[in-house]
Structure 1
């Protein structure tokens, strides 16, 4: 008879007491009961006497050594515009700088909700394999995109996968994509929450010199409360936090340009959250109809609507991110 952990064995606050993937108690603590990653954590990634995790981590490290800066975009809950922010950050970063053309990549690991292809106008593209690895879709010559959305026969197909299969694809994305000879920036768009995919990403990126996490919230308390859990997750697993972005921060009328707070920040919103946790506040992006239009048509709001309030906010946020120094953490 197969032994399965009973529901009584799983503490209500199990997530809060996760020992972390780096701990000697990983997979062995009582709070690990019922976790789908328990066996992997407990074994330390051992398979047939070989530390498979260490081998795969080294392969990923080798594959990503040509990427100068790597950013995770996280959110505590869905619906805060995390993919919108990820896509517009990448599009803004890809704009030509004074003396160079930045090379930018976007890796979409939101496997069950891959909206990145739509936001870049790349629906219908299929990933191709070569002897160098998977070839990304190219929005521009200097902006490459990878998503599970490029692997689905039909864009409306549901991804009904258990944790191990999702984790395996994330590992392949990190290890087997050929981004070219060099990338200045890689934006990794993650699913909401602090679950399987996040643990896998942390496990494989811990030794690749990742810059840190950009956390997205909206002003209302229900979002900020979930972001607190995201912040604590980052601290527990050792991901440096670059800062917080408050999205949908007031509605900007396209005619009179007046701003109205649709989602009232009852407890101070993202800015107060940054103060509470002593982490940088990167800026506020207003609820601007031009942002939605840009995302649905695969356009850059900074390029097409440079004078819009959201465009101005995005440029300021990107400037803070690219001038961020790792030793500030």
Structure 2
């Protein structure tokens, strides 16, 4: 992985927990902390980062020599997605090996420019792309996204176990949709349950990186191409994401000190 110091996978056991929204905001928060950051959308079937980063349909990356592409830039970070290479309105009717091959090409044929961190927005589950990532490149660690809901926690456990089996450190857990506050009366309620993130991190002896509210603004800003860290940089949610980014950087540094150094480009 030329041009990349640390790779961080952001994953969930199931879809619908806000993983892509968390990935985009976490990457932008890391950039706000002063790091050079890239974001790779590894969801071949349903790429969403192009829209979240405000990159319009039909925008294509430029070539960087033979068989390589320059990442697109948005909000100060570098980005690559299948959405930049195909018509996103056409379904990708591919079997697993084709999907894994496409992901490997996105990963290795993108000319990343001197990144401190490359965040990879993983597809849901524990399948081909997860295995390809762990086998092809050195991953500094994984962040698991879940909601407090029991069903989501069951799948999050599978995600943690999967990364442990392939020797990828789990840097921590982000609990999304933790609490909903009514915009009219101000009443707060844990719609999806509570305490799930704490139980999960205690079971696996990892850290709870942060808890995010179930808020309409987070969804609207991501859909509008300006995630919360960019749209409301001084707000509470942006502050939470920046705190998470600092914890990720600390965990990656600790992993590098504890284990053998990761060598790129050998």
* Offset at residue 103 of structure 1 (A): 1.5
In structure 1, the residue matched to 2:170 is 241
In structure 1, the residue matched to 2:99 is 166
* Offset at residue 253 of structure 1 (A): 3.5
Which portions of structure 1, spanning 4 or more consecutive aligned residues, are displaced by more than 6 angstroms? Answer: none
Residues 211-250 of structure 1: pairs in structure 2 closer than 5 A: 211-250=140-179
**Could you give the per-residue CA deviations for residues 252-289 of structure 1, whole angstroms, max 9, x where no partner exists?**
34466553211113xx3111100011111111011111
* Offset at residue 129 of structure 1 (A): 2.0
The structure 1 residue matched to 2:123, chosen from 171, 176, 191, is 191
Matches of 1:66 and 1:145, distance apart in 2 = 14
Please tell me whether residue 74 in structure 1 is matched to residue 11 in structure 2: yes
Higher relative contact order (CA 8 A, sep 6+): 2
* Offset at residue 302 of structure 1 (A): 2.6
**Could you give the per-residue CA deviations for residues 189-213 of structure 1, whole angstroms, max 9, x where no partner exists?**
11001011111111102xx3x2100
* Offset at residue 308 of structure 1 (A): 3.8
TM-score normalised by structure 2 residue count: 0.89
SS of residue matched to 2:177: strand
Question: Of the two, which has the highest radius of gyration?
Answer: 1
Distance 1:136 1:306, change over 3 A: closer
In structure 1, the residue matched to 2:35 is 102
In structure 1, the residue matched to 2:241 is 314
SS of residue matched to 1:249: coil
**Could you give the per-residue CA deviations for residues 134-171 of structure 1, whole angstroms, max 9, x where no partner exists?**
1111104x411100011122x22111111111111111
Matches of 1:90 and 1:114, distance apart in 2 = 16
Distance 1:255 1:186, change over 3 A: farther
The structure 2 residue matched to 1:117, chosen from 50, 55, 70, is 50
* Offset at residue 66 of structure 1 (A): 2.6
* Offset at residue 312 of structure 1 (A): 2.8
Distance 1:302 1:175, change over 3 A: closer
The structure 2 residue matched to 1:92, chosen from 12, 15, 29, is 29
Q: Is the 8 A contact 2:179 2:213 kept in 1?
A: yes
* Offset at residue 307 of structure 1 (A): 4.8
Matches of 1:274 and 1:83, distance apart in 2 = 21
Q: Which runs of 5+ in 1 are unaligned?
A: 1-63
The structure 1 residue matched to 2:69, chosen from 124, 134, 149, is 134
Q: Is the 8 A contact 1:92 1:300 kept in 2?
A: no
Residues 296-311 of structure 1: pairs in structure 2 closer than 5 A: 296-311=223-238
Matches of 1:179 and 1:76, distance apart in 2 = 28
Q: Is the 8 A contact 2:170 2:206 kept in 1?
A: yes
**Could you give the per-residue CA deviations for residues 79-118 of structure 1, whole angstroms, max 9, x where no partner exists?**
00110100111111122x4xxx422100111111101111
Let me know the Cα RMSD of the aligned residues. Answer: 1.8
In structure 2, the residue matched to 1:283 is 210
Q: Is the 8 A contact 1:123 1:150 kept in 2?
A: no
In structure 2, the residue matched to 1:3 is none
In structure 2, the residue matched to 1:30 is none
SS of residue matched to 2:152: helix
TM-score normalised by structure 1 residue count: 0.73
In structure 2, the residue matched to 1:44 is none
Aligned residues: 254
SS of residue matched to 1:72: strand
